[in-house]
Structure 1
Amino acid sequence: MLSIIDHLPPGLLEVTPVQLNQVLTGPTLIHLKGRREPPLFISVLLHGDEITGFLALQALLRRYTERGLPRSLSLFIGNVAAACDGCRRFDTQPDYNRIWKGGDTPEHAMAQQILEKMREREVFACVDAHNNTGLNPHYACITHLEQGFLHLASLFSRTVVYFQRPENVLSRAFGDLCPSITVECGQPCTKYSVSHTLEFLEACLHLSEIPQHPVDDIDLYHTIATVRVPAKLSFGFGDCQRELCLIANLDHLNFQELPVGTLLGKLNISSEQYFEVVDEKGHNVTAQYFKVDKQEIRTICPVIPAMFTVNEQAIRQDCIGYLMERLKKGVQDLSWTRPPK
């Protein structure tokens, strides 16, 4: 199902994401020669409605139509079919950012094919570009607390999130090959999200090497749990008649430390299952973070949300968002430790 080519298809730099089927037949890996090797890997449109990365990539490549690339590029344009429909993914498809470990679908086989091709090319670094459906700052995500990863992330934002789950995302798989990050470029279709991502990709393209000295000027967070809605529950936002009513401005809580007792929603039925909160080890830890009191769902400890969304489709297909804690850097070494409670 994967096309691998060594040139830009005619029209690729002009089409909109919903027109991609005019120039691509499906997921496509494009190798472009530049002055430096090995190649920088850039992934866009793993989710079809997260278009900032693709728009920034088009703008980047237009800058070099009349001159050579500073470094070779390997570009993966992911869920073309979903992009043409303007959706995250089809219900009949796996999530293109959950296929990079295990699995027996054609999409999982495609992911392993891409990893093997980039291993052969001794990939320089990996950037996977995404958007958020909720209100979040622009930030970078890493799966390894190594200086190369931290430096690459700090080029995009001083806000950096370290995570270990989900285990089957692209940036984690590429982390075994090279410094690898996910960039969360805010909401799609904003000028700043495209311009910021464009300048970051430009900076990556001109790197001769990735520094290894310590990175200091960042705000580092650690994702400790994923929050989902049980599949059997109906849900909505605000003053609704669904079984679970989340607060209308849920995404306004992102990247703020919520005090004990913060209201997140109301449960309109008698049930002990309202959230499914899973930690890094896959354990259900809902009771460690939330409780229901007089039908109201409230926090029972301080916590920092990220990527909380009010997009119902994103919640059904993925999650409400994540819970985080702050990390601080060790003084004597490169380790990172939790701050004291």
Structure 2
Amino acid sequence: MNLTELNALPDRFLDMDAANLHKILPGPTLIHLPGRRQEPLFVSILLHGNEDTGLKAIQSVLRGYQNRELPRALSLFVGNVSAARLGLRRLDGQPDYNRVWPGGEDNSSVEQSIMHQVVESLRSRSPFASIDIHNNTGLNPHYACINRLDQHFFHLATLFSRIVVYFIRPTGVQSAAFATLCPSVTIECGKTDTPGSEEHAAEFINACLHLSDFPVHPIAKHDMDLFHTVVTVKVPENIEFGFGTNHLTLNFNENIDHFNFKELSPGTPFGHCQGNHLPILAIDEGGNDVSESYFMVKGNQIVLRRQSMPAMLTRDERVIRQDCLCYLMERIDPGTTPHQLK
């Protein structure tokens, strides 16, 4: 597998759905389109093959410029075409396309080499900003994620949503790789096919194409709700789990994804389990097991130990196995520095 690099849109690209992109793209593809301003906006889509809002949004934007010049050059990366063919996040045996970018733990896979080529190609073009477009599988509002506590990043993120999440784990993500080159953001557009998601993402892309620069003044505190991802919650591979069940080792609440972006008090139950051993893992930014600091078994219930706000809680068992159950966040002030978070 190699990176394909093009200087024009392939025929039929604007009308092709994600499942059929393999008919016109051989695999991961980087497409450069000229515009009035030379420093390109970089947009990545389909890093997860079952998240197609990014494709629909960029098609919508580009259809509007078929007979006129883009206000800014655009470099578009289309990621996991083979997984998109089957409507999957990734194929069995594939790495996650949003965990193999420079700065991550993967330094040897073919996919990591491709992402390195993408970054180096854009480095030579001095990108203006970077957008990575995703969907998620739980009930979540639209929100933006950043990897630097910086005013330009804040201004870019709040063009999409007042809800902004700062994180440094997981590593190997696109937004962190591009944060070394330009303001970068991941936008989370809710569940696939949610009404309004495609339009919201398209409006954001269009707004970024029209930006000439970023404001120099600090973002107003009342214009942004800023959160810091403190732990990733996972289910160990050897633990059987389900939702709204009673007979498995781990039984989450049936509607657990309703907790997303709600500030939960200590004692809030996540589910129940068999035995007294805590059957979930909470991993902090340093990769440390901090499960006992965030959860405990009380009776047969799994409850929170401290106030937290979940994001990306999902009931999709395949996604949980391939990635995680959720992230836990804490609200922070926009003036906070990374040093103060340690």
The TM-score, its normalising length taken from structure 2, stands at 0.95
CA deviation map 1:142-163 (0-9, x unaligned) = 0001111000000000000000
Q: Secondary structure at the match of 1:191?
A: coil
Q: 1:122–1:177: 8 Å Cα contact kept in structure 2?
A: yes
- Partner SS, residue 272 of structure 2: strand
Instruction: Report the Cα distance in structure 1 between the residues aligned to 2:32 and 2:6, rounded to whole angstroms.
Output: 6
Q: Given that residues 327 and 336 in structure 1 are in contact (C-alpha distance below 8 angstroms), is that contact kept between their aligned partners in structure 2?
A: no
Aligned equivalent of 2:147: 143
Report the 3-state secondary structure (helix = DSSP H, G, I; strand = E; otherwise coil) of the residue aligned with 1:113.
Answer: helix
Would you say 1:133 and 2:137 are equivalent positions? yes
1:210-225 alignment to 2 at 5 Å?
A: 210-216=214-220, 217-225=223-231
Q: Which residue of 2 is the match for residue 278 of structure 1?
A: 283
Percent sequence identity over aligned pairs? 50
Classify the secondary structure of the residue corresponding to 2:287.
coil
Query: Where in structure 2 are the equivalents of 1:289-308 lying within 5 Å?
Result: 289-308=294-313
> Is 1:326 the equivalent of 2:331?
yes
Q: Which runs of 5+ in 1 are unaligned?
A: none
Q: Residue 233 of structure 2 contacts residue 324 of structure 2 at CA under 8 Å; is this kept in 1?
A: yes
CA contact (8 A) 2:271 2:301 kept: yes
- Aligned-partner Cα distance in 1 for 2:208–2:140: 23
Q: Partner residue of 1:44?
A: 45
Conservation of the 8 A alpha-carbon contact between 2:61 and 2:206: yes
Q: 1:44·1:53 contact (CA, 8 Å) conserved in 2?
A: yes
Count of residue pairs brought into register by the alignment: 335
Give the aligned residue type for 1:82: A
Q: What is the aligned counterpart of 2:128 among 99, 124, 129?
A: 124
Q: Deviations along 1:115-165, whole A, 9 cap, x unmatched?
A: 111111111110000001001110000000111100000000000000010
Q: Is the contact between residue 230 and residue 273 of structure 1 (CA under 8 Å) also seen in structure 2?
A: no
Amino acid at match of 1:48: G
Q: Are 1:316 and 2:316 counterparts?
A: no
Match of 2:3 in 1: 2
AA in 2 matched with 1:303: S
Please state if 1:188 is matched with 2:171. no
Secondary structure at 2:229 match in 1: strand
Secondary structure of 1:160's aligned partner:
strand
Letter of the structure 2 residue corresponding to residue 117 of structure 1? S
- The answer to whether residue 201 in structure 2 is matched with residue 197 in structure 1 is yes
Aligned mates of 1:240, 1:136 — CA distance in 2: 26
SS in 2 for 1:39: strand
Q: Which residue of 2 aligns with 1:170?
A: 174
Contact 1:259 1:301 in 2 (8 A): yes
Q: Distance in 2 between the 1:212 and 1:190 partners? A: 34
Matched, 1:64 2:65: yes
Secondary structure of the residue aligned to 1:245 is strand
The yes-or-no answer on 1:245 pairing with 2:251 is yes
SS at match of 2:232: strand
Name the counterpart of 1:33: 34
Structure 2: state its 5+ residue gaps.
none
* Partner deviation per Cα, 1:295-316 (whole Å, 9 max, x = no partner): 2101111111011111111100
- Counterpart for residue 213 of structure 2: 209
TM-score calculated relative to the size of structure 1: 0.96
Task: Kindly state the Cα deviation for residue 56 of structure 1 after the two structures are TM-superposed.
Answer: 0.3
Q: Which residue of 2 aligns with 1:262?
A: 268
1:329 Cα offset (Å): 3.1
**For residues 309 and 338 of structure 1, what CA distance do their matches in structure 2 show?**
30
What is the deviation of 1:272? 2.5
Distance in 1 between residues matched to 2:136 and 2:251, nearest whole Å:
21
Does the CA contact (< 8 Å) of 2:276 and 2:300 recur in 1? no
* Contact 1:327–1:338 (CA under 8 A) maintained in structure 2: no
Secondary structure of 1:157 counterpart:
coil
CA distance in 2, matches of 1:292, 1:317: 25
In structure 1, distance between residues paired with 2:4 and 2:29: 5
Per the TM alignment, residue 336 of structure 1 is displaced from its structure 2 partner at its CA by 7.7
Deviation at 1:85, TM superposition (A): 0.4
CA distance in 2, matches of 1:103, 1:208: 36
One-letter identity of the residue aligned with 1:316 = R
Q: CA deviation at 1:86?
A: 0.4
Contact 1:228-1:276 at 8 Å conserved across structures? yes
Q: CA deviation at 1:338?
A: 7.4
Counterpart amino acid of residue 111 in structure 2: E
Once superposed, what is the RMSD of the aligned Cα atoms? Answer: 1.4
Deviating beyond 4 angstroms after TM superposition, the runs of 4 or more aligned structure 1 residues are 334-339
Query: In structure 2, what residue type is equivalent to 1:283?
Result: N
